[in-house]
Chain A
Amino acid sequence: MSRCRHVRQRIAEALYDDLSQDQRREFDAHLRSCPRCARLYRQMAETLDAMNARQTTEPDEAFWTGYVERLAERFESQQQRQAFSRPRSFLEPVARYRPAARRIGAVAALVLVGVLLGRWIWTREQPPGPARRTAVPAPHQANPAQTAVEDRAQEYLQRSKVLLLALANFDPQTDDTAALNLPSQRRISASLVQEAEYLQGALADPAQMRLRELVGDLEVILLQIANLEDEHDLEAVEMLQRGVNKEGVLLRIDLSKILSKSPGRSSPRNQDRKIRT
């Protein structure tokens, strides 16, 4: 039986002629003595024949003639959309602008961090008193409904974070998949996906764009968890882990929480707190 398993693992290689001569001899000898493996091999070979019958239509030459031009047009429009990036021709030098763009990006990031930190520290250290009221600008009057949606979104983010932490901390090399409790994760993810659908509709204010995007990105990951078919599909779990890392989702959730608590934020609840202090 273990011989059969060994041979079956090689069927794909045999079909594509990827076996060495010795391996092939061994493989063929087994097929001669094992009707079940021989049948599986035959079925798979015929499956490949069926897949060879697949027909695809090739685009005509006109498609390819205009391909580079269409690509160039897309490149131009993409460049125009990007903030901080100087529009440049599709076929212009690449390297020339890269260091400058990096420097601008780094400076902009530093300024942004400085402004956020400054606002945070400044609003914390201001002494209480009437002058405080006039010093705090109220750039955006959020209505209570928006605040309620944002609170609900924060709750969604925190629930998602718990789920993702369990996934991120799971080590496929050493941990048992049972520890991950995928059936439960799938169930929770499904309910969170539904919540995300609601939130994306409700977070309609332009000021909530980042939060809406984060909810949307999380929804993609949660949906993948909800759709994990096999509890032992470690490959899918690893892919999800990479997705979580790549998107920096956990960091973005933390950042979103910090910003939602930041005194500089203009939700009525925060403004009330400022006035009371």
Chain B
Amino acid sequence: METTRPDDRVLIEQAREGDGAAFRALVERYSRKVYALALDMTGDHHEAEDISQDVFLKVFGALARFRGGATVSTWLYRLTVNACIDRRRKKAWRAMKPKGTIIDAHTRPYTPGRNALSHPENEVEKALLQQHIRRALDSLTPRERAVFVLRHYHALPLKEIAACLNVTEGTVKSTLFSALKRLQEKLAPYVQGDMA
């Protein structure tokens, strides 16, 4: 997400005064980015749309409270990450049945030849790789996933991620490292470095 353009705040101000076109412009400007982040966080298109709309409804309700301490994009990212985490929590308790062990054992990953990533020879293999990437992302904690997707897929600087998540830059660094470590463990069969 690009840095806040001066007119973001103007749009917020105008929307606050009741200018519907300004709010619409704000939605049109950021909807794809908010949606993309929600998709990266959830991996589901329907949820991503739902969450992105939740975010804009919240923004609409909170226009009067926006003081401009953060950039508009940071604010939107923060709302999106929080909405995704909230949704995941709510989904978690519906999905999980605490009988004996609370968390279901992870499905044992399929382990094809070690060079599968480097030489995906057919469509099935590519599809499997996508499946394992998805699983690797799903294995991250919500906080790790937020930090990773914001840095890796949205190219946000560490400082801005820290502002989005309301944590220190040091926490972002250590969370990013633990996310990478977990991804590396999950994808170990696919990366050549593991063969060394």
Task: Answer yes or no: do A and B interact.
Answer: yes
Nearest B residue (CB) for A235: B143
Q: Is the CB of B196 within 8 A of A190?
A: no
In the complex, whether B56 has a CB less than 8 A from a CB of chain A is yes
Query: B152 — which chain A residues lie within 8 A by C-beta?
Result: 16, 48, 51
CA distance A68 to B31 in the complex (A): 9
Q: Is the CB of A51 within 8 A of B130?
A: no
Q: Is the CB of A18 within 8 A of B196?
A: no
Query: B27 — which chain A residues lie within 8 A by C-beta?
Result: 67-68, 71
Query: B35 — which chain A residues lie within 8 A by C-beta?
Result: 59
Interface segment out of the listed A36-44, A150-158, A176-184: A36-44
In the complex, whether B174 has a CB less than 8 A from a CB of chain A is yes
Q: How large is the interface on A (under 10, 10 to 19, 20 to 34, 35 or more residues)?
A: 35 or more
CA distance A89 to B45 in the complex (A): 27
Q: Is the CB of A91 within 8 A of B180?
A: no
Query: A70 — which chain B residues lie within 8 A by C-beta?
Result: 49, 53
In the complex, whether B4 has a CB less than 8 A from a CB of chain A is no
Q: Is the CB of A42 within 8 A of B193?
A: yes
Q: Is the CB of B191 within 8 A of A43?
A: yes
Q: Is the CB of B184 within 8 A of A47?
A: yes
* Distance between A80 CB and nearest chain B CB, rounded to angstroms: 14
CA distance A57 to B44 in the complex (A): 10
In the complex, whether A46 has a CB less than 8 A from a CB of chain B is yes
Q: Is the CB of B184 within 8 A of A43?
A: yes
Q: A92-B18, A94-B64 are in contact. Are A71 and B57 (CB under 8 A)?
A: yes
Query: B188 — which chain A residues lie within 8 A by C-beta?
Result: 43
Query: B18 — which chain A residues lie within 8 A by C-beta?
Result: 92-96
In the complex, whether B7 has a CB less than 8 A from a CB of chain A is no
CA distance A65 to B10 in the complex (A): 24
Interface segment out of the listed A22-30, A140-148, A222-230, A263-271: A222-230
The answer, among B32, B134, B137, B180, for a CB contact under 8 Å with A64, is B32
In the complex, whether B9 has a CB less than 8 A from a CB of chain A is no
91-115 of chain B: CB within 8 A of chain A = 92-93, 96, 98-99, 102-103
The answer, among A54, A67, A224, for a CB contact under 8 Å with B133, is A54
Query: A190 — which chain B residues lie within 8 A by C-beta?
Result: 98, 102
Chain A interface (Cβ within 8 Å of chain B)?
A: 8-9, 11-13, 15-16, 18, 39, 42-51, 53-57, 59, 64, 67-68, 70-71, 74-75, 78, 89-96, 98, 186, 190, 193-194, 219-220, 223-224, 226-227, 229, 235-236, 239
Given pairs A67-B49, A71-B27, A220-B90, 18 additional interface contacts (CB within 8 A): A12-B176, A13-B173, A39-B193, A46-B191, A47-B180, A50-B133, A54-B130, A54-B137, A55-B130, A56-B39, A74-B57, A93-B18, A94-B18, A94-B64, A190-B98, A219-B93, A223-B98, A227-B102
